[in-house]
Chain A
């Protein structure tokens, strides 16, 4: 089973890297206009674990990433990331320590269109404190990993959306973070790009990185994720390995597929295939 093989490839180091404890978050300040984004969310990210965060639009997935990345401070609950409490309130050296431990890949590629591809990664290598002697090799490795080597001398503005996305992801992997947060990293990538991405995420998890990835790519979740968290209306509605969720909840896969906007896969006639079984 694909998810079993994914789990068997997990790092043996299962130490906790991030935790949300009964976190609630709402947006809006005017009375009566508050929008609840998260309600009583508990979540734990362990080293070497690739966790997929799925659910319909507006279910709170991006809010979880924003809280873990230290971009938003929840009104209720406790947040701990890489041993640092309340990341959104950190300032100065503590905040920089957070950034050294956590990488956040947002939905939008945050790049300077006037800079070159290699130049962008060189700059990020400096800002992440990669030793000068290690920078060329590190940049070359990331360019290779994300199939960007042939675009090294192009300007960012000349790249397609998918290539920009890959460059954005490459920048986030520059410093081998303890915790990697990705918001729909496969969006805009072609099949080969998505395959490269997920293979690389699985490899990073094997090397001990705790990964939380928002995705609508159910096939990739089944193949590569160790754990799945299903969000609904700001709450965690299901959590477990893809196999556990499938076994404990016969209709979960179909329900999951409909929640993340895909049509349910037809059950194979007379069989109980992987997709249908869940």
Chain B
């Protein structure tokens, strides 16, 4: 009997979740950075005027959805480290020597990472409320906003996994995290609205996947702006393309 795709994927997801829960300390560290962003940036730019938003929206309110997506970006970019550990102890090779589909294994690991990242993003939202952010969620857009977050998490978990499979070195992952995360963050609408950026930066930000996810999530949480299903198309395509690249890299 050959192993089924869902059975394999679910087994890998459960393995990843179990390993995550066995290291709760590491999980708790992941909230320190968003909290610092919220406190330092939130209060530092408290008087920053948001021209395209109503007066009652303060900078910390504007920042909260951005920090949620930033948490996903930083968390997703670490996804590949799990694969590198598996490679170092030989267990990746062991799993790939079974008749199970590598695509299913990748999908299961990504599913586990994405659900963890979504929960982390929602907990960051609670932190944001605790430090004084006020939200005015639009219930009709919350579902689409969550889909945008999930697609963004899939895309960057897969990118990180692809880098891990191609380099198989922890050092390369560290370089990747530093090389990608900060430029991604500062060329997006996570910290500053696109309309208040220099024109050239606004053009870059418009193509940044982080902006697509942040704008969708911000529209859902602040009730300002709109998204529709078609806005998620580029994120969905990116997630699919990076999943295929990671899957091929895994089987090299």
Contacts and interface: CB of A to CB of B under 8 A. Distances in A.
Given A99-B98, A111-B90, A119-B18, 15 more contacts: A96-B2, A99-B97, A110-B90, A110-B93, A114-B19, A114-B22, A115-B15, A126-B8, A127-B11, A127-B99, A127-B100, A128-B99, A128-B100, A129-B1, A129-B4
A104 B1 contact: no
A106 B101 contact: no
B2 A112 contact: no
B46 interface: no
B143 to A, nearest CB: 32
Contact of A112 (B11, B86, B97, B101): B86
A100 interface: yes
A79 B100 CA distance: 23
A110 B89 contact: yes
B170 to A, nearest CB: 16
Interface of A: 69, 91, 96-97, 99-100, 103-104, 106, 108-115, 119, 123-124, 126-132, 171, 175
B3 interface: yes
Q: Which 3 A/B pairs are nearest by Cβ-Cβ distance?
A: A110-B90, A129-B3, A127-B98
| Residue with the greatest number of chain A CB neighbours at <10 A, chosen from B86, B89, B97, B101 | B97
Place the interface of chain B in its size category: 20 to 34
B7 A126 contact: yes
A111 B91 contact: yes
B94 interface: yes
A131 B11 CA distance: 13
Interface in B2-25: 2-4, 7-8, 11, 15, 18-19, 22
Interface of B: 1-4, 7-8, 11, 15, 18-19, 22, 85-86, 89-91, 93-95, 97-101, 105, 251
Nearest to B15: A123
Given A96-B100, A96-B101, A126 B94 contact: no
A124 to B, nearest CB: 7
B89 A127 contact: no
B243 to A, nearest CB: 17
Nearest to A131: B1
Contacts of A96: 2, 99-101
A129 B4 CA distance: 7
Contacts of A128: 3, 98-100
Nearest to A114: B19
Contacts of A123: 11, 15
B93 A126 contact: no
A108 B90 contact: yes
B20 to A, nearest CB: 11
Contacts of A91: 251
B2 A126 contact: no
